[in-house]
A and B are shown apart, each in its own frame.
Chain A
Amino acid sequence: MSEIRPTITVEFPICNSCRKPITPKERGVSFLCPNCGSYTIWRCKTCRKQGTKYVCPNCGFTGP
């Protein structure tokens, strides 16, 4: 008899700038695109600190 093991996949949000997953421990930030308000932008702590640009895939707005 084969045992069915449930698999849990935890998906972390992806940093809009560097495309790395943001772990809850790291404390990134998320907000709705300032311009169009219809896409959630995530920024990791490093990109936030360095002021790395983010781009909204919906409207093309570039921040910060």
Chain B
Amino acid sequence: MSSDETERQSIEGELLVPQETYMLSGIHIGTEAEIKAMREFIYKVRNDGIHVFDLKKIDERIRIAARMLSHYEPGGILAVAASRFAVRPVQRFSQFTGAVAFVERFTPGLLTNPNLPGYMEPQVILLSNTEGGSQVVSEAALAGIPLIAFCDSNSPIDYVDLIIPMNNRSRKSLALAYWLLARQVLRERGQLGTQEDLPVKPEDFEMESEEGGIE
């Protein structure tokens, strides 16, 4: 890991976890490319062209996403894994929050065709990444379902109603983000105290490298 990746950001106020925990997961490491709408979440661009996210903004958006999710019944939340490394984080997130996990290949029509077996009518969708989840995005658009998505510095944000900016490509950062979001949703609902933790560590949300899942 280069010194840039562990370089502290000057942050006022408290974060959901210590800054080191965020940094070690690589949650702040974006890509070389950037789309304009993601610019507001960028802390700096490294010499090698990598966009580094502002940790305070990641933290803020996780809190806000948790608040938004707490407006819905647990079973009305559809958590979709659109990449391999998101499978276990999504399963764990759903286990703790009561959301419906969707970790398989997405059949066209699942949100738009009532005649299709497995047709779903969620109240809100939480998507691991818009790159791999373009079918989910277009169906959320057609069906008029609010969409929360983890977006990298170059992710398409079409139809996304709430962006959670972060590195959505890495096993560790996805695990930490879903773990934090699960804990924060439970805190918002009052099912956990404001200082209370989940009974498991973020590592428990992490995909094993040999585990299968969506390609």
Q: A31-B161, A64-B157, A64-B162 are in contact. List 5 more A-B contacts (CB 8 A).
A: A32-B68, A49-B158, A51-B157, A51-B158, A64-B160
Judge whether A28 is part of the interface by a CB distance below 8 angstroms.
yes
Report yes or no: A51 in contact with B67, Cβ–Cβ below 8 A. Answer: no
Q: Mark A6-50, 1 if CB is under 8 A from B, else 0.
A: 000000000000000000000111111011010000010100111
Question: Given that A63-B162, A64-B160, A64-B162 are contacting pairs, would A31 and B142 also be in contact in the complex, using a CB cutoff of 8 Å?
Answer: no
Give the distance in Å from the alpha carbon of A49 to the alpha carbon of B146 in the complex: 13
Main secondary structure of the interface of A (DSSP, over half): mixed
Q: Bin the interface of chain A by size.
A: 10 to 19
Report yes or no: A32 in contact with B159, Cβ–Cβ below 8 A. Answer: no
Q: Which residues of B contact A (CB under 8 A)?
A: 37, 64-65, 67-68, 71, 124, 141-147, 157-163
Report yes or no: A34 in contact with B141, Cβ–Cβ below 8 A. Answer: no
Report yes or no: B67 in contact with A37, Cβ–Cβ below 8 A. Answer: yes
Write out the residue numbers on chain A whose beta carbons fall within 8 Å of the beta carbon of B147.
29
Give the distance in Å from the alpha carbon of A51 to the alpha carbon of B71 in the complex: 22
Report yes or no: B141 in contact with A31, Cβ–Cβ below 8 A. Answer: no
Main secondary structure of the interface of B (DSSP, over half): mixed
Give the distance in Å from the alpha carbon of A4 to the alpha carbon of B136 in the complex: 50
B37, B64, B157: which contacts A61 (Cβ < 8 A)?
B64
Q: Which residues of A contact B (CB under 8 A)?
A: 27-32, 34-35, 37, 43, 45, 48-51, 61, 63-64
Report yes or no: B144 in contact with A27, Cβ–Cβ below 8 A. Answer: yes
Give the distance in Å from the alpha carbon of A27 to the alpha carbon of B160 in the complex: 14
Q: What are some 8 contacts across the A-B interface (CB < 8 A)?
A: A29-B144, A30-B144, A31-B71, A34-B65, A34-B162, A35-B67, A51-B157, A64-B37
| Chain B nearest Cβ from A8, distance in angstroms | 24
Q: Name the residue of chain A whose CB is nearest to the CB of B60.
A: A35
Write out the residue numbers on chain A whose beta carbons fall within 8 Å of the beta carbon of B142.
27
Report yes or no: A35 in contact with B160, Cβ–Cβ below 8 A. Answer: no
| Chain B nearest Cβ from A39, distance in angstroms | 12
Q: Name the residue of chain A whose CB is nearest to the CB of B148.
A: A34
Write out the residue numbers on chain A whose beta carbons fall within 8 Å of the beta carbon of B159.
48-49
B67, B145, B163: which contacts A64 (Cβ < 8 A)?
B163
